[in-house]
Amino acid sequence: MNCVKVKKRDMEKRKLGNTGYQITPIGLGAWAIGGGGWAFGWGPQDDRESIAAIHRAVDLGINWIDTAAAYGLGHSEEIVCRALAELPQWRRPLVFTKCSLVWDEKGKVSHSLKPESLRAELEASLRRLGVEAIDLYQIHWPAFGAGFTNPDDPGLEQAWQTLADMKKEGKVRAIGVSNFTASQMERIRPIAPVATLQPSYSILSRGVEAETLPYCGAHDIGVIVYSPMKSGLLSGAMTRERIAAMPRNDWRRYHKDFTEPKLTENLAIVEKLRAIGKRRGCSPGEVAIAWTLNHPAVTAAIVGARRPEQVDGFTGAAKIELTPDEIAEI
């Protein structure tokens, strides 16, 4: 099937694990709209443009948004709230957010799985989002690396029990995890079913293929992948000049995939995707997104946007059905 720009409500819906939700194959990611001012920021953003991007996504039929408390240290959730407040109730998309990353008064991010921390984070997210219950609440990371992880964190089991209790209390409607391995999900699954997993997955990041995705497929765990275009690197619009002009507080400017020697190799891959897209009338980024959606265990892909025209540029991926020859070529 050639790439067709998706019109309102043209997108199919897919079952998301055991949540009871039917979601579009593409969801809007709200990491970048959080802006700069924190360790993993994207530099300054125009909030009005961010709100317009959310509205454009809804206009095109996207029925879910993924954000997190940590994105912009709460700012992303606040922008999502402002955007939803301008929509009638019947048009509002599902809202997914995350917990376990916290910050201090200086903006330093750390990690916590303590029940009291998770509960405080939930209440803060409910306030910022302006909702009575969160549609999907996810543990952002099981741990967060040197300098971020709290050595006093209790086990994953205690944290997962806390989320299960939140669901019973009606403050969240479904619970899932992000960046968990198959073994970590197996540890917590006896406490309460794991509804969803959010892993990084793209042509350049395929580590979850060996064990994690098959595990999800075998246990009815919905998979919503993030960074299918590797944070814009596979979009077709990324150049050396654009990277050099990025704000100093854009994390991508210093990442190994955006710097040499990997950058030359990655941009060469983009040209291969561009050739496939040219035959279909699609962008390299849409081909990259469609590639992730081709995996049988993947329910949907999270794609970020900060401006309405960016949304227009990726929704066609929902209609692409890559052929076996194209998959082999990629």
Active centre residues (catalytic):
71
Distance of CA 318 to CAs 14, 23, 44, 199, Å? Answer: 11, 12, 29, 19
Cis bond upstream, residue 199 (ω within 30): no
Please state, in angstroms and rounded to a whole number, the distance separating the CA atoms of residues 300 and 62. 11
Pure H helices in the chain: 47-59, 75-85, 115-129, 156-168, 182-188, 212-218, 240-244, 262-280, 284-293, 308-312, 324-329
> Given the structure tokens 């082999």, which residue do they identify?
328
**Beta-bridge mates of residue 42:** 250
Question: Residue 152: is it exposed, middle or buried by C-beta count within 10 angstroms (0-12/13-18/19+)?
Answer: exposed
H or E stretch including 242?
Answer: helix 240-244
Which token pair is 59? 């206009």
**In this structure, are residues 189 and 219 in contact, taking their beta carbons and an 8 Å threshold?**
yes
Pairing of strands 101-103, 109-111: antiparallel
